[in-house]
Structure 1
C-alpha cells in the first residue's frame, strides 16, 4: 500500500501467477500448464535467419501475415482475427470493449470456479460480476446462463477443472444472449475439448479466445488471439489502439506465424500430450485418486491417503511443482500439468512414495 496509489490500485486483488523457478534450477515444472516439448523446429530455423535490421522499425500493427496464418488454420477470414501480447491481454481488451461498467450495469456471468483473471479484470474495469456456482461435480450448468444479463465469459475446457461443455450447450447460451457478447476462452480446446469455431457463422456475438502458450509451446513468446465477427474484432482493435498500437513485436509475429503453419507438428504434439494425460489418469485412478474428466493439458486431482496441501508441499520438496489453490470447494484438489512421459513417471513414483504405499504394479 502506498499513499501515491489511487483507490483502485489500493483495493484491487491482482492475479497471482504460478511459481516460476530460477533458470538453472533442476525442477519438474507441472504447475502452469506449459507445453513440455520444444516448439516447432521451423522456429529455430527462422531465428537463425532473422534479419535484426528489421527490429529498428515498428512492427505491423495489424499482424497481417500472422492473421492470414490463423485464418487458414481455423477456416475463417483474416478480418475475423485479432492478435495480442498473450491471451491475458486479449481478454483484458475484450472485457473493456464489450462488458458494461458501473454500479447500474447488468452483471457479467461467469463460473464461480474458473480462470482467476476474470474477476480481476471485472474489478479493474468496474464491471459487475455474477459468479454462477458450478454443479457438485464441477460441471457448468448451461441453464444458469440462459437469462440475459451483461454478457457471458466461460473457459471451455474450464480451468482448473478441465471439464468441457459440449457445443450444443454453448449454442443454447448464445441463443439466450443474442444482444450480449458470449466469450468462450478456448486456451485448452486442442487437447480434447470441443471448439466453437463452427458456430461463428451463425452468431455475431460469439468471441473465441486462444493462445499459443499451451498448444504451440510458446508461453515465453506471449501470443494470444481472438476470433469473432468483424464488428467484435473492430471493437477490440479500438481498445488496443487506446492503450498500445504495437502489442505484438516483429519477432513474435514471425515466430508465431511459423508455428501456426506447422500443422503436422501441432497435431503430433497434441497427440503425445493427450496420450500421456490418459496414462497418468489411469495410474492415479489405480491409487484411488478422484479426478474430473479433464479435456485439457492438465489433470484436476483429489489425492487419496494424503491431503492435497501436504502432497503439494512434499512434492515441492522433491523438486516437483504442481498447483495448489487452497480455495473453497477445491482445497482438496491439485492441478497437475501434463509433462513429458519421463517427467510424469517421476511424478507417479514420487506420489507413490509420499503416500506410503508400494504400488509398483498399479
Structure 2
C-alpha cells in the first residue's frame, strides 16, 4: 500500500494568468483599472510596522464594523475572509453537508465544483439556456443547497431579483448562496432579502469595485445565526485569517463612498461605450452588468482572436471549455486601454 492511496486528490481551480512581462494591457482577471481610495495610500505611508509583531484581531471588528456601517446592517450580520474565495469556501464547508446535491449552473464561477469535490459535497450542474440565462424552476426541486453567481461569471448575465426570491421561497430548508462579486457594476443586490430569509448568504468582495484585489478581502451578509455558524467553522479552521494592515486599509477603503461611486461609474461608462464599439465590429454578447464583456465573433475563432491580441501585448481570458470556447472575457480597463483594444480588434477582424 502506498501513502498516495490516502491523499485527497482534486483538480484545482485555475486562476487567471498574472504575467511577469511589462508593458502589457491586462484585461483578463477583472481587476479594477483605478487605484484604491486615496485614504488607503496615505495610511500605508504612516503605518506603524512595530504593531505587526502582535497577532491581528481575530474578530476583524474594525473591518466588520466599517462594512456594517456602509451597508446599514448590524455587525453580527457580517462575515469577512481572505477574499470572497475564502468566504465561499467556508460557506461550502459550513452549510453543504447533505446527501442531496448542491445546485449551481454549468457555466459559472469554476471554483464551485472544485470546492464541492474537495469537501466531497454532492453537486449537480444545471445547464444555462442558450442565451446564458437561468431558468429559475430548475432550482425548485429537492437539493442540498443552491449557489447562484449574480451577475454570473463569466457570462455577465444578471438574474432578476424577483427570480432570486422565488428560488429562496422554494428552498427554505437549505442555504442559498448568492455570489455578488460584480454587483456594484449595475446589478440589483439580494442584500435586502436577508431580513426576510434566514437561509440566505450574500457574498461580495473588495477585489472588483473597491480596487483591492491584491489585499484579498471578501465579506458576506446573512442572518445572525447563519453568520454565527460560519464564524464557528472559520475559528475551527484558522483564527487569524486576516492580517492587521488588510483589516485597517479595508476599513478605510469602504468608508470612502464618494471615491467608490466615482470609479465604479467610470468603469460602467467605459463598459457601455465599449459595448457599442464591439457591436459595430460584429461581436455578439449578452448584456453585461459586470466589469467585463463576454463576447464572440461569428467570423473569427476565439482562439485566433486571443492569440492575435496577445501578440499585440493585450491579454484577455479565454476558457477552453464546451459551449464557451469561442468566447473571450474582456475586462474593462481605462478608456485608453480600451481604445487600444478596439484598434487592435479592428486590425484583427
- What TM-score range do you get, normalising by the shorter chain? over 0.9
Residue of structure 1 in register with 2:38 after alignment = 41
CA distance in structure 2 between the partners assigned to 1:54 and 1:230 by the alignment: 31
State whether structure 2 residue 11 is matched by structure 1 residue 13.
yes
Deviation at 1:7, TM superposition (A): 4.8
* Contact 1:81-1:227 at 8 Å conserved across structures: yes
**Cα distance per residue 1:152-176 (max 9 Å; x no partner):** 0010000000001111101000000
Q: Describe how 1:266-285 pairs up with structure 2 within 5 A.
A: 266-285=260-279
Counterpart of 1:74 (choices 55, 71, 78) is 71
Structure 2 residue runs without a partner (length 5+): none
Q: How many positions carry a matched residue from both structures?
A: 348
Residue of structure 2 in register with 1:62 after alignment = 59
CA distance in structure 1 between the partners assigned to 2:317 and 2:6 by the alignment: 31
Q: Which moved more, 1:43-52 or 1:249-258?
A: 43-52
CA distance in structure 1 between the partners assigned to 2:157 and 2:216 by the alignment: 25
CA distance in structure 1 between the partners assigned to 2:174 and 2:75 by the alignment: 23
CA distance in structure 2 between the partners assigned to 1:5 and 1:29 by the alignment: 39
CA distance in structure 2 between the partners assigned to 1:339 and 1:107 by the alignment: 38
Deviation at 1:148, TM superposition (A): 3.1
Three-state SS of the structure 2 residue aligned to 1:242 is helix
Counterpart of 1:319 (choices 308, 313, 324) is 313
CA distance in structure 1 between the partners assigned to 2:33 and 2:231 by the alignment: 33
Counterpart of 1:28 (choices 25, 28, 31) is 25
Q: Describe how 1:206-245 pairs up with structure 2 within 5 A.
A: 206-245=200-239
* Contact 1:287-1:304 at 8 Å conserved across structures: no
Deviation at 1:314, TM superposition (A): 1.1
Deviation at 1:228, TM superposition (A): 0.5
Counterpart of 1:91 (choices 81, 88, 91) is 88
* Contact 1:312-1:321 at 8 Å conserved across structures: yes
TM-score by length of 1: 0.94
CA distance in structure 2 between the partners assigned to 1:329 and 1:57 by the alignment: 50
Residue of structure 2 in register with 1:116 after alignment = 110
CA distance in structure 2 between the partners assigned to 1:229 and 1:203 by the alignment: 8
Structure 1 residue runs without a partner (length 5+): 356-362
- Report the RMSD for the aligned CA atoms in angstroms: 1.1
State whether structure 2 residue 339 is matched by structure 1 residue 345.
yes
TM-score by length of 2: 0.98
Q: Describe how 1:55-204 pairs up with structure 2 within 5 A.
A: 55-100=52-97, 105-204=99-198
